[in-house]
Amino acid sequence: MSVTVRRWWQCALDVESLAVPAVEIAADEAARLSAVRGRPARVETTAELVRAAFGAFSHLRVNGRTVNPWAPLSGFVETRDGVLRTHANYPHHAEAIARATGASDRPSLDDVAAAWRVDDLEAAILDAGGVATRVRTEEEWREHPHEIATAGDRWVEVSPAAERAMPPAATMPLEGIRVLDLTRVLAGPSASQLLACLGADVLRIDPPRMPEPIVQHLVTGMGKRSAVADLDHHADDVLALARSADVVLLGYRPGALDRFGLSPEALVSEMPSLIVGSLSAWGEHGPWGDRVGFDSIVQAATGIADACRTADGSPGALPVQALDVATGAHLAGRVMGLLADGSGGIIRASLLGAARTLLARDRVAHDADIPLGVPVVNVSSPHGELLAVPPPLLYDRRTIERDVGEYGGAALAWTQ
């Protein structure tokens, strides 16, 4: 079975041409890894699976109820001379916006922002530790110093290192593979979820003082175990897990974990056969190389929000968080590719690279949404009974969903 429907999202940008190839990379590499490990399998995707997985939040039901992943202070904000996009889904980022503006709810933020210049408000929020960016056109972004500095970077870049032993034969392609997940939000967690549902032993670790919103855990937590650890007190424990892992996924701001010995370079220098997936919003160099970012923020900065303006002329957004989910699928595929090659190495991926790839595609007509069936599965969770969409792969013609475990309830140890 293959993806035969060409268009299904209503958008001026060809989102399908970003989403489908990324998932197909994961499918192809999963099939190749299965064959290398002595258990050939048919791994594929469909239009229905891709569409559903990229819109997982909108399809999730927890005890029969819908969910809303967006916090009140997240969104577009009109200023005196432009539009700002804020991201406040994490409480500490919402608190930063409140410190910068004095606004603790959406109506007061809108009132306060109307008196600010957009660049000044962006700077104030960033200085307070928040996340925001001015909405730019594609032309404005092309002239931005960071785009100029990173224009030659690939979306996903693989740097192989030392050879690694091929794991013995297994039923699932990633059975017996240990994955340490130090990522946040959606791109990294969706990559590790795909690996977990293909058999990997995935342990995700979050900081106790900045927990992941439960709704994000429910969308990306299938098959994984979740633990919390304060690196200021448990860095040695986490490093020990990294040293005994096959794969480490990093998704914090570049440089944020370096002092704990958890930079890609430090890990591969000590363990050349380790596979390190390094995710960032803006890439790992250039003026914004150490800047925090999220899918919606990258959309706003690069011209995607401008290209997706609504009928009334307001900045808009892609119909799904395609930069995140496509990058996660692409990363998971490249991880499986290195495993199949018997190689360690570093895989670097950025949301900016995904945005650049999407914007380089030909524009498409504003077609109406094509109705496709939504594959849903019942999933158990300590946080409620879930009706969810499975990961976007079929393994020997079957979906690969798993139950979702308790957030923060696992020990700092491997099961395999």
Q: Residue 95 domain-assigned?
A: no
82 confidence band (pLDDT: 50, 70, 90): very high
Predicted pLDDT at 2: 61
Per-residue pLDDT at 167: 77
Mean pLDDT of 81-104: 97
277 located within any domain: yes
Q: How would residue 332 be classed by pLDDT, with cut points 50, 70 and 90?
A: very high
pLDDT for res 170: 85
**Contact status, residue 328 vs residue 194, Cβ threshold 8 Å:** yes
Note down the domain range covering 353: 16-68+155-286+318-399
Residue 6 lies in a domain: no
By 3-state DSSP, what share of the chain in percent is helix, strand and coil, each rounded to 5?
35, 15, 45
pLDDT computed for residue 363 by the predictor: 86
* pLDDT at res. 60: 98
In a domain, 178, yes or no: yes
Strands 247-250 and 275-280: parallel
Q: What is the CATH number of the domain that holds 162?
A: 3.40.50.10540
User: Tell me: the pLDDT tens digits for 100-136?
Assistant: 999 999 999 999 999 999 999 999 999 999 999 999 9
Q: For 181-193, how does the pLDDT look when each residue is reduced to its tens digit (9 = 90+)?
A: 999 999 999 999 9
Which tens digit of pLDDT belongs to each residue from 290-310? 999 999 999 999 999 999 999
> Lowest-pLDDT range, 52-61, 357-366, 374-383?
357-366
Does 378 map to a domain? Answer: yes
Task: State the DSSP string of 114-174.
Answer: TTS-HHHHHHHHHHTT--EEE---HHHHHTSHHHHHHTT--SEEEEEEEE-PPPPP-SSTT
Contacts (Cβ under 8 Å, ≥6 apart) of 373: 48
CB 11 within 8 A of CB 55: no
22-47 core/surface letters (b: 16 or more CB in 10 A; e: else): bbbbbbbbbbbbbebbeeebebbbbb
Q: Mean per-residue pLDDT for 334-362?
A: 98
Is residue 55 scored above 70 in pLDDT? Answer: yes
Instruction: Calculate mean pLDDT across residues 144-170.
Output: 94
Say how far apart CA 190 and CA 280 lie, in whole Å.
Answer: 14
pLDDT score at 370: 72
Q: Is residue 136 part of a domain?
A: no
Q: Is residue 295 part of a domain?
A: no
The band of 367, judged by pLDDT with boundaries at 50, 70 and 90, is: low
Mean pLDDT of the region 198-225: 97
R_g over Cα of the chain: 21
pLDDT at residue 339 tops 60 = yes
From the number of C-beta atoms within 10 Å of its C-beta (0-12, 13-18, 19+), residue 407 rates as: buried
Kindly state the tokens that stand for 82: 């432009």
Sheet-wide strand order for 43-44: 43-44, 394-395, 398-399
Q: Tell me how many domains the chain contains.
A: 1
Judged against a pLDDT cut of 80, whether residue 6 lies above it is answered with no
Is 131 inside a domain boundary?
no
Confidence of residue 411 (pLDDT cuts 50, 70, 90): very high
